[in-house]
Structure 1
Amino acid sequence: MFADKTIVVTGAGSGIGAALARMFAHQGARVCVSDLNGAAAQKIAADTGGLAVQCDVRDESQIIKLINTAETRLGSIDVFISNAGLACGEPSHAASASTQVWQLNWEVHVMAHVYASRAVLPSMIARGGGYLVNVASAAGLLNQIGDAAYSASKHAAVSFAESLAITHSGDGIDVSVVCPQYVATPLLDMDDQTDTGGSLISADDVAQSVLAGMIAKEFLILPHPQVSEYVALKGTDHMRWISGMQGLRRKFLRDSENGDLKEMHKFI
């Protein structure tokens, strides 16, 4: 399905993005590996036979340059995967993160998706086909305890993906939004060698879930299937879900060694 297709992946220097780049290269795609870290992008591109382009996704002009470079070197973009992300946490109460941190989350988790879509949609519409994949988070359907800026921006990312799917189905454009929970990536100070289990899965697990979801043209791709159960509970009894999350937060604060959010996966 993806052989000889041109695929751009942002945030592909490590973690989920790198796993996606490797997986699509194995499928025979022409892969453009983009990352803020140019050296990391070069390494993954060398491993996959792809094209490396350094890009700060907060800057619309850099995303436009990324797309122009990919199209010039590899051909018209068939799939654009907006994967770049970050997590900063918050120092105390739910509004305690600085305005700069809130803005950073908004720019990377929402506006980067908007910029990419704005740049590739006209040509995709003209060709009558294309695929947009936005990597969000289970926090965009549920919530991330201890990081309100992350949760709010990931909710917005899911909403924007819904708008893309609603608006452009008639143009022949497929849209998926990926909402994993905890993944062993540098975002959690982990890597491909980390032992996984329970709610912690590998980046390769996510990549395989994305591949299966895209082949099936699923809008909502859930690498952690249990998330669908949590979303159903939230939809049917919101207060019960809030109470459960309050209990989870108390347990985490009571039993974790240092309150580090990177350990939250042990309590899910």
Structure 2
Amino acid sequence: MQVAGKNAIVTGGGGGIGGAIADRLVRAGARVVVADLNADAAAAVVAALEPEFPGAAVAVGADVADTDRIAELIVRCETEFGPVDLYFANAGVMGGIGLGDDKDWGVTLDVNLNAHIRAARLLVPGWVERGEGYFVSTASAAGLLTQIGSAAYSVTKHAAVGFAEWLSVTYGDAGIRVSCLCPMGVETALLRAGEHSGDTLGMAATRAVTSAGAVLTPDEVGELVLAAVDDERFLILPHPEVLDMYRRKGADYDRWLAGMRHYQARLLESAGGE
């Protein structure tokens, strides 16, 4: 899909990967609703684009896991620009360290998974009727592998990948395209959350990502996302080595699990030594 002339919604668009995606979309000729729980952050992204691309983006402060607010975003896009062509379900949270508690799980499930499902419920029927639409899910390499440190993050990102797969299988022949973004380390506040948690397992969680491969900038990832959308490619891997890791996991699950336990032990030892 060529994004020029299309209308998009980007959640978690107030910075990080979402902000970079919104920026790249506008520069490629799309019109964008930038949504974020932090309304000021979303406004800052739009304000940075306004001098060069006046009127091409609008900012909305919204809890994008709430069905009513998602519906309002869709109406805002239709009012400002026209029907939604692309939806980037990008907002995400890290979740609690370890097993977490019910509140942690509730929030993480809502933002990392249910927000995608609720948006799809509202958008897919209209896309099927029109014969086209594009849903881009931001998951994580953790959704293909796992995340040391946070059960909730790992499980919800696996679920996000699974939901994106299901959308593609179920509606791909109806003209709906789906992509799933699965990066490792990207320099965002989310990446450093465990590092600053004061918890040994949390510190290990951050180091598991930063030591596994290069830490990319959000701009680098945003550029790769738009290239993948242009190619209508399902799996977006900013870190190509993730595919090799995923293959090794599938080839010998028990060996992979043993290796991850060993890796975690080394990370915990290092974090505990500080």
What TM-score, normalized by structure 1, do the two folds share? 0.90
1:106 Cα shift?
0.5
Secondary structure of 2:177's aligned partner: strand
Written as runs of structure 1 = structure 2, the 5 A alignment for 1:4-43 is 4-43=5-44
Matched, 1:127 2:142: no
Q: RMSD of the TM alignment (CA)?
A: 1.6
Structure 1 stretches of 4+ moved >6 Å: none
Q: Does 1:226 align with 2:233?
A: no
Give SS of 1:256's match: helix
2:253 aligns with 238
Distance in 2 of aligned mates of 1:155 and 1:79? 22
Q: Which amino acid aligns with 1:98?
A: D
Distance in 2 between the 1:25 and 1:204 partners?
Answer: 13
Contact 2:9 2:32 in 1 (8 A): yes
Using the TM superposition, give the Cα deviation of residue 121 of structure 1 relative to its aligned residue in structure 2, in angstroms: 1.0
2:218 matched residue in structure 1: 203
| Structure 1 residue 178 displacement after superposition | 0.5
Q: Is the 8 A contact 1:12 1:34 kept in 2?
A: yes
Q: CA deviation at 1:70?
A: 1.0
Matches within 5 A, 1:81-92: 81-90=88-97
| Structure 2 partner of 1:168 | 171
Normalized against structure 2, the TM-score is what? 0.88
Does the residue aligned with 1:183 lie in a helix, a strand or coil? coil
In the alignment, structure 1 residue 67 sits paired with structure 2 residue 74: yes
Q: How big is each residue's C-alpha offset from its partner over 1:219-268, in whole Å with a ceiling of 9 and x where there is no partner?
A: 11111100000100011100111111111101111123678xxxxxxxxx
Distance 1:55 1:84 in 2: 11
Alignment of 1:81-120 (within 5 A): 81-90=88-97, 94-95=98-99, 97-120=100-123
Unaligned runs of 5+ in 2: 51-56, 194-209
- Percent of residue pairs bearing the same amino acid type: 43
5+ residue gaps, structure 1, are 191-195, 260-268
Structure 1 residue 189, shift from structure 2 partner: 4.0
8 Å Cα contact 1:21-1:48 kept in structure 2? no
Question: How far apart, CA to CA, are the structure 1 residues paired with 2:20 and 2:48?
Answer: 11
Mapped contact 2:12–2:35 kept (Cα < 8 A)? yes
Partners of 1:123 and 1:16 lie apart in 2 by: 27
Moved more, 43-52 or 62-71: 43-52
**Counterpart of 1:2?**
3
1:13/1:33 contact within 8 Å kept: yes
Relative contact order, CA 8 A, sep 6+: which one is greater? Answer: 2
